Structure 1
């Protein structure tokens, strides 16, 4: 079963990369060519819809292989996100501003699987895009966090040590309490043609990286996902993290 899981996961990762290119390209053509005739628009929308349906099958394969296909290595998260930025800018329409924030720390190293982390950010970006049909702001933030005896009560779910706090925030429609309560459940979705695996898969990826995930949202106030991942270099000197640098 483990061998089958590894095979399924390997195929799923490769196929998912192909699907992302197809979906993003179709979306980019639609956004950059508003005067296309209706038939062409319909075909492009069909490409996107069928691509997402295929992506749902990929998610199922990834879930099946989750415990057997995790290839972790040292990853510098700020560089990782900057490399992903171009893909995100092509994914979002022009009326969505993308902003990357960080504190004064120069490196944010974790031990992780690049393919899974890429999927995590793309899933959250997809949710944010759907939540901002009229445009808005998509924010990615990085900050170092040290949990010790002085602040353990504020971070009761974390053990003492150093973490990288990853913030993913949008200015979209937000969620009510009932939706938020079920948001991490597999196959739960408020969208008619969605698989409901987006946030559930994100939560699973976070747990695979020994992390903790928090979800904050209110109707008309946007949504914020905060992820705490163990820092790779546990002996790095803690720096003052007052203030952010902005890269919008």
Structure 2
């Protein structure tokens, strides 16, 4: 119940702030409709707030227990990650030594590509923020010995104590005043949707590593037939381990 209350409180505050921006901008727009430049600025402010609300809604929908598995597609995660390099380097900025590693062989898995991209971006942004825009961040995709794909994001930040580590995946929990606290929750939602697992490892002074493992899909390309629903054992794999 405490987590539900925190989630509801975070949603209420964030949406209230966004709605305040939108209503204020629209009110002023109507009052100054004869000033094209001001109308343009106010309209842009309202549009930006609306887009932020839309993005938050998409993130929150990922917490639903009945994710739409029809969105899953057999894709090479190495290719997807390589395609995100420019975006990730933009997030990292000039002060962070960003390393991106992909396997030198195909890395197919059944994922929602939009959710994968959102999870990678969220984890990279978290890592950059934890490093205060300096130090190093490593984003690695590898084929694990167990036959899974492992995506990990490690930062050289200050790390987390045991209490922070335990609460890290909670929606809207954050140690930063300027962050929404949805990064790890978003990554956890992606792992759950893909029948995978999320782990967080950290200690004070040793940085942090968040890893997502998803099953390697060895189904031959072009194979027909619907994918079966995951078994109860597979569904439990998505529980976060911290």
- TM-score range normalised by the length of the shorter chain: 0.5 to 0.7
Q: TM-score, normalised by structure 2?
A: 0.64
Aligned alpha-carbon RMSD (Å): 2.7
**1:75 Cα deviation after fit:** 1.3
> What does residue 182 of structure 1 align with?
167
Find the residue that maps to 2:88 and give its secondary structure.
helix
Query: Contact 1:174/1:222 (CA < 8 Å) preserved in 2?
Result: yes
Give the structure 2 partner of residue 139 of structure 1: 138
Please give the TM-score of this superposition, normalised by the length of structure 1.
Answer: 0.62
Structure 1 unaligned segments of length 5 or more: list them: 1-45, 148-161, 236-248
Mean CA deviation greater in 56-65 or 75-84: 56-65
Alignment of 1:99-248 (within 5 A): 99-102=99-102, 105-147=104-146, 162-233=147-218
Rg: which structure is higher?
2
Structure 1 residues 230, 217: closer, same or farther in 2, change over 3 A? same
Return the structure number with greater relative CO, CA threshold 8 A, min gap 6.
1
How far is the alpha carbon of 1:61 from its aligned partner? 4.2
Displacement of 1:229: 0.9
Q: Distance in 2 between matches of 1:66 and 1:120?
A: 18
Would the alpha carbon gap of residues 194 and 57 (structure 1) be closer, same or farther in structure 2, given more than 3 Å must change? Answer: farther
Q: Do structure 1's residue 59 and structure 2's residue 44 form an aligned pair?
A: no
* 1:68 positional shift: 3.2
- Conserved? CA contact 1:56–1:195, under 8 Å: no
**Structure 1 residue 195, shift from structure 2 partner:** 2.6
- Structure 2: 5+ residue stretches without partners: 1-44, 221-242
1:143 is paired with a residue whose SS is: strand
More helix per residue: 1 or 2? 2
Tell me how far 1:200 sits from its aligned partner: 1.3
Number of aligned positions between the proteins: 174
Whether the 8 Å contact between 1:173 and 1:219 is mirrored in structure 2 is: yes
The CA deviation string for residues 37-86 of structure 1, in whole angstroms up to 9 with x for no partner, is xxxxxxxxx99x96995343442244459623651111111111110000
SS in 1 for 2:71: coil
Q: How many Å separate the matches in 2 of 1:212 and 1:114?
A: 17
